[in-house]
């Protein structure tokens, strides 16, 4: 029985190309999404074997989408597509149950292998990511100032230019709570202006440059 896959990527051309590639290999693409929130909803609805998520997506990035999928649909294996592998997020992603990392420039060659590996219970890492995984694991014990999942969501939305009211509506919290999160994040990170949060979000891979 062929694996059932949900694809989430905001670049339509890339998503369509990956879909065509997978279907030529006999893999069934049961759903597509253009942002992380829609991707999580599709996974919960369709219960696929594998979710392939781009890391840099609007509203909810792939890292946070993977975290939510791990909480709500633990049977679905998650593979992350990344343009550049950052050791800052690799360890957290592995803790959240991500089973594969595929570099976008190698997606055509690697993605089918990754899906096959995770469906058999393994972990797949593109050659371009493997050294980052090793370095990240070595450095994990000394990591500081780690943000919570909710705080990372708030950082992404602030960096995307959302207002406090818009953030509150998207996260189903009050504006006062959204503002509290923003102030707490800036204090944690030692950042004093929104521009600094934007730079942090880009550096951490939460949004695309």
Pairing of strands 77-82, 124-125: unpaired
Residue 63: the pLDDT is: 86
- For the record, the structure tokens of 208 come out as 């695309």
Residue 86: the pLDDT is: 60
Residue 38: the pLDDT is: 95
Residue 144: the pLDDT is: 41
Q: Where are the alpha helices (DSSP H) in the chain?
A: 12-24, 36-46, 62-72, 87-95, 107-119, 127-139, 149-159, 164-171, 175-189, 194-203
Residue 89: the pLDDT is: 66
Residue 142: the pLDDT is: 44
d(CA 50, CA 16): 17
73 CB contacts (<8 Å, ≥6 apart)? Answer: 43, 44, 47
Q: Is 120 left (phi over 0), alpha (psi -120 to 50) or beta?
A: alpha
Report yes or no: 55 and 142 within 8 Å, Cβ to Cβ.
no
Residue 51: the pLDDT is: 97
Residue 91: the pLDDT is: 67
Report the alpha-carbon angle 41-206-178, nearest 5: 75
Residue spans per domain, the chain: 4-141, 149-203
Level-2 CATH architecture, domain 149-203? Orthogonal Bundle (1.10)
Report the alpha-carbon angle 159-206-140, nearest 5: 130
Low-confidence ranges of the chain (pLDDT < 50): 140-145
Considering only the top CATH level, what class is 4-141?
alpha beta
Q: What is the pLDDT of residues 121-148, one digit of tens each?
A: 888 887 766 665 655 555 544 444 478 8
d(CA 111, CA 81): 9
């Amino acid at each position: 029985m062929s694996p059932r896959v949900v694809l989430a990527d905001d670049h339509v051309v890339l998503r369509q190309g990956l879909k065509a590639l997978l279907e030529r290999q006999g893999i069934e693409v049961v759903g597509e999404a253009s942002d992380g929130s829609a991707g999580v909803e599709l996974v919960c609805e369709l219960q696929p074997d594998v979710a392939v998520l781009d890391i840099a997506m609007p509203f909810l990035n792939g890292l946070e989408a993977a975290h939510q999928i791990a909480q709500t649909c633990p049977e679905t294996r998650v593979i992350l597509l990344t343009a550049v592998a950052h050791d800052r997020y690799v360890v957290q992603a592995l803790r959240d149950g991500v089973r594969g990392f595929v570099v976008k420039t190698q997606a055509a060659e690697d993605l089918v292998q990754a899906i096959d590996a995770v469906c058999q219970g393994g972990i797949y890492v593109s050659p371009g990511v493997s050294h980052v995984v090793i370095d990240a694991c070595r450095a994990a014990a000394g990591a500081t100032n780690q943000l919570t999942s909710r705080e990372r969501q708030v950082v992404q939305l602030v960096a995307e230019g959302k207002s406090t009211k818009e953030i509150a509506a998207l996260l189903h919290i009050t504006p006062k709570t959204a503002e509290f999160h923003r102030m707490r994040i800036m204090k944690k990170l030692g950042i004093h202006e929104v521009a600094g949060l934007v730079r942090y979000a880009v550096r951490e891979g939460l949004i695309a440059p």
